[in-house]
Amino acid sequence: MKEENNKFLGEEKISKLLFKFSIPCILSLLISSLYNIVDQIFIGNSSLGYLGNAATGVVYPITIIAVAFAWCFGDGASAYLSLCLGRKDTKNASKSIGNTISFTFIISIIFLILGFIFKDQLLYLFGASNKSIDLARYYYEIILLFIPVYMIANSMNSVIRADGSPGFSMATTSVGAIINIILDPVFIFGFKWGIKGAAIATVIGQVATLVLSIFYYTRTKTFKLHIDSFKIDLKVFKNVIKLGISTFITQMSIVIISLVCNIMLVKYGALSKYGTDIPIAVIGITMKVFSIVINIIVGVILGAQPILGYNYGAKNIKRVKETFKKVLIISIIVGIISTILFELCPSLIISIFGSNEELYMEFATLTFRIFLILVTFTCLIKFSSIFFQAVGEPLKATIVSLTRDIILFVPLVIILPKYFGIKGVLIAAPISDFLGIIVTIILIIKFFKHIDNKEKVEKDISIKDSKEGIIITISRTHGSQGKKIGEIVSKKLNIPYYYKEMTLLAAKDSGLDKEFVSNINSDKDILHDLYLTSSPVKYAILAQKKIIKEIASHGSCVIVGRAADYVLKDNPKIVRIFIYAPLEYRIKNIMQMYKDTKANAKKNIEKSDKNRASYYELISGNKWGDIVNYDLCIDSSIGKEKTADIICEYINKLSK
């Protein structure tokens, strides 16, 4: 979203914005859910019954592993594409997309080969029994054979959205789902192909999605692929991985949950009257029905992301709270309606998936009523996790997500069956939801306490007119006294100086909060790179870029930090300076300035330099501190005045 078009996010009615942004997200996610559900509906209503559903349920977690890689690469490429577009780096934009396709293909082939080599081991690991193994093999082999199609289509789809075509992205998924829905009954019942027919219908839908995605890639909006784009470039792809790793972790947590849950269901199901296949079939259906509910919530909060991002950056806490409240109410309503359906009429939902066998219906009813009894809490946990992502708090988002799923559910699902048998597996979910919502509420309360509304930026701050001449940009290592040296240079040359003033101007122009803009490159948390790609930070970066260019248009000046050397790279009057100093010298300066111990000073220098490097690399694609990016690199340990004199002498020579 372009910076000049952002202010309506702080002014338009929130309910109207939510409707505009959330509906497409919800529809897209619900359509993608059909892939996971349609097969089970038709298979369950065929002669295969719950054994067929058990077979597809066993294969499902394996496909999640595949999609974890695909979405990791696709989401990472999408984020990196946005960064490249911001710095007009078309070469690396194309490389990142091409490399994403190349690596997705390579990983998919490895996945295919290993999948066939360890076929039975994987199927038994994820819950196949001697009764369901043959059906699982039939379904698995066809799905696995087309896994490259599935993975490449999914990774490409993420990029299509980032290219500014969410409608086309939804269409590619919709066409695949519709084809699957049409072909399922034809192949399963008409041709009597059974579970093989379901698999074939699924992969034909996936092929259609891929064909449409390839068609789109021939007429993209913001990047163009060439043969060189597909050549492996580890430096570029490292950034893609870095930006997509959170998606991978989220998806793999689903795999871990499914694996542990299925293992325990098989183990304790064998000791119960239900056997092993009924629990596996039922849990597969339960999770897919549950995914519909969660996708509605995810769609709403994803639609709310730009609203939250802009208003959080603007420190318009009233609108942040209003948006949060509206999404919270929607989440609670969806959760309560779902709970009522799951508790009062589970048999109605279960019957959609066929099989009326008494034990099957008994366990399915039990599962829906116990496993999903606190589904409202699950909705709130998922909503809160994405909310934290939207406001640039990736660490909190990760804590919320993993606490419920990995830290609580996995241990509980292992421990509780020892005391409660197979019901212990089901009880683990509501206990995890209950404890997880407590952690979530604590983090939410702390977050809102922390973001009290701040005073707006000063009204009298403005850009100063200056004489025509050289624009000096100064990058510096922490503790090298680059700010003070820049100030001395500006006084000696009698030209304006911009450091804090630059962020104040950016805040005033964009409507963002001055403190927020100033602190975007601070030591936020251990997930600093993800923080820099979050929505509110992107708005602040765009605002800074705009104001840096405006400052430069007013004449000669000194600009310290904020990757100004890169932002002004096309300006013929720019002189790019990098100031550094030995570590011991910098430690001494930090100790004097902040009254730090030597250990703390060293630690602060390392953190600050690391964050500056991350910021610079994400903004420019270049390496921070690399001498090829600067016109003059100077060791400031010779003293502030001497360093400033050398810079002034250099500038004066250039000005002649």
Please write down the long-range contacts of 89-94, taking CB distance under 8 Å and 24 or more positions apart. Answer: 89/621, 90/223, 90/224, 92/236, 92/621, 93/222, 93/223, 94/223, 94/224, 94/225, 94/226, 94/229
Decide: 384 and 444 in contact? Cβ < 8 Å.
Answer: yes
The yes-or-no verdict on residue 273 having pLDDT over 80 is yes
Residues 130 and 180 in one domain: yes
How far is Cα 314 from Cα 457, in angstroms, rounded to an integer? 10
Residue with tokens 């001055």: 514
Last residue of a domain, one of 270, 303, 324: 270
Which pair of structure tokens corresponds to residue 454?
A: 């701040």
Mean pLDDT of 416-426: 95
What length is written for the chain?
656
Mean pLDDT of 2-22: 71
Looking at the predicted structure, is the pLDDT value of residue 455 above 50? no
Q: What is the pLDDT of residues 166-187, one digit of tens each?
A: 788 888 988 998 899 899 999 9
pLDDT, residue 457, reads 43
* pLDDT at residue 454 in the model: 46
Decide if 532 contacts 614 (C-beta within 8 A). yes
- DSSP per position, 329-366: HHHHHHHHHHHHHHHH-HHHHHHTT----HHHHHHHHH
Of 140-149, 221-230, 500-509, least confident by mean pLDDT is 500-509
Residue 456 pLDDT: 44
Quick: pLDDT tens for 548-574. 888 888 889 998 888 888 888 888 889
Q: In which order are the strands placed within the sheet that holds 574-580?
A: 497-498, 557-560, 471-476, 574-580, 632-635
- Nearest Cα to 320, choosing from 216, 390, 424, 243? 390
CA distances from 106 to 103, 150, 308 (A): 5, 13, 38
Region 597-616: mean pLDDT is 85
Domain of residue 578 covers: 471-655
- CA distances to 150, 328, 354 from 384, rounded to whole Å, are 30, 9, 35
User: Rounded to 5 degrees, what are φ and ψ at 576?
Assistant: -100, 120
Q: Are residues 61 and 184 in the same domain?
A: yes
- Judge if 557 and 427 occupy the same domain: no
| pLDDT of 8 higher than 70 | no
Is 264 among the domain residues?
Answer: yes
**What is residue 624's predicted lDDT score, i.e. its pLDDT?**
84
| Cα 163 → chain centroid | 16
Instruction: Give the domain-ending residue among 270, 297, 317.
Output: 270
Does residue 319 surpass a pLDDT of 90?
A: no
Contact 517, 541 (CB under 8 A): no
Together in a domain, 79 and 217: yes
Our measurement of the distance from residue 327's CA atom to the centroid of its chain's CA atoms, rounded to an integer in Å, reads 19
User: HEC string of 413-455?
Assistant: HHHCHHHHCCHHHHHHHHHHHHHHHHHHHHHHHHHHHHCCCCC
* The pLDDT of residue 620: 76
Distance separating alpha carbons of residues 306 and 181, to the nearest angstrom = 34
The whole-number average pLDDT for the span 48-59 is 87
Place of tokens 């549950």: 290
Residue 153: per-residue pLDDT: 94
Confidence of residue 515 (pLDDT cuts 50, 70, 90): low
Q: What is the pLDDT of residue 375?
A: 94
Q: Which tokens go with 29?
A: 């996610």
Are 465 and 591 spatial neighbours (Cβ–Cβ below 8 Å)? Answer: no
Return the closest-CA partner of residue 547 out of 520, 604, 509: 509
The span from the CA of 636 to the CA of 613, in Å, is: 19
Instruction: Give me the chain's average pLDDT, please.
Output: 85
507 and 622 both lie in a single domain = yes
Contact (CB, 8 A) for 507 and 517: yes
Q: Quick check: is 5 in a domain?
A: no
Same domain flag for 328 and 266: no
**pLDDT of 28:** 76
* Whether residues 443 and 523 fall in one domain: no
Q: At 87, is the pLDDT very low, low, confident or very high (cuts 50, 70, 90)?
A: low
Identify which of 407, 391, 100 has the alpha carbon closest to the alpha carbon of residue 225.
100
446 and 478 part of one domain: no
The tens digit of pLDDT for each residue in 381-417 reads: 989 988 887 776 777 888 888 899 889 999 999 999 9
Closest by CA position to 636, among listed 497, 520, 519, 474: 474
What CATH number is associated with residue 640? 3.40.50.300
pLDDT class of 439 with cuts at 50, 70, 90: very high
534 and 603 share one domain: yes
Residue 164's alpha-carbon distances to 16, 20, 88, 224, 485, in angstroms, are 21, 15, 16, 14, 43
Per-residue pLDDT at 532 exceeds 70:
no
pLDDT of res. 597:
87
607 pLDDT above the threshold of 50: yes
> Given phi > 0 = left and psi -120 to 50 = alpha, else beta, which region is 497?
beta
CA 441 to chain centroid, in Å, comes to: 22
Handedness of CA 154, 157, 159, 161 (dihedral sign): negative
- At residue 60, the 3 state secondary structure works out as helix
Asked if residue 35 is part of any domain, the answer here is no
Indicate whether 515 and 615 sit together in one domain. yes
Residue 15 in domain: no
pLDDT (0 to 100) of residue 459: 46
Domain assignment of residue 27, yes or no:
no
**Does residue 2 have a pLDDT over 60?**
no
Phi, psi at 65, each rounded to 5°: -60, -45
284 and 347 housed in the same domain: yes
**For 338-358, what is the mean pLDDT?**
89
| Six token digits for residue 468 | 């025509």
Looking at the structure of the chain, the number of domains it has is 3
Q: What average pLDDT does this structure show over 39-44? A: 86
Q: Provide the pairing of β-strand 557-560 with 497-498.
A: parallel
Checking if the pLDDT of 500 tops 90, the result is no
Contacts of residue 481, defined as CB under 8 A and 6 or more positions apart, other chains included, come to 579, 581, 589, 636, 640, 643
The single-letter DSSP state of residue 220 is -
Highest mean pLDDT (candidates 144-148, 358-362, 517-521, 592-596)? 144-148
pLDDT digits (tens, 9 = 90+) for 197-228: 999 999 999 999 999 999 999 988 888 999 99
The whole-angstrom separation of Cα 346 and Cα 5 is 47
CB atoms within 10 A of CB 331: 23
Q: What is the DSSP string of 551-618?
A: HHTT-SEEEESTTHHHHTTT-TTEEEEEEE--HHHHHHHHHHHH---HHHHHHHHHHHHHHHHHHHHH
What pLDDT was estimated at residue 271? 92
Q: Which of 270, 287, 311 is the last residue in one of the domains?
A: 270
Nearest Cα residue to 540 out of 570, 560, 523, 562: 562
Assess whether pLDDT exceeds 60 at residue 460: no
Q: What is the pLDDT of residue 533?
A: 58
Mean pLDDT along residues 144-166: 89
For the chain, give the percent of residues with pLDDT over 90: 39
Contact (CB, 8 A) for 156 and 168: no
Mean pLDDT of 492-508: 80
Q: Kindly state whether residues 477 and 583 are assigned to the same domain.
A: yes
Whether 460 maps to a domain, the answer reads no
The answer as to whether 435 is a domain residue is yes
Residues 24-53, mean pLDDT to the nearest whole number: 82
Indicate the range of 203-217, 510-524, 633-647 predicted with least confidence. Answer: 510-524
* Least confident residue range of 190-194, 510-514, 523-527, 585-589: 523-527
Identify whether 464 is part of a domain. Answer: no
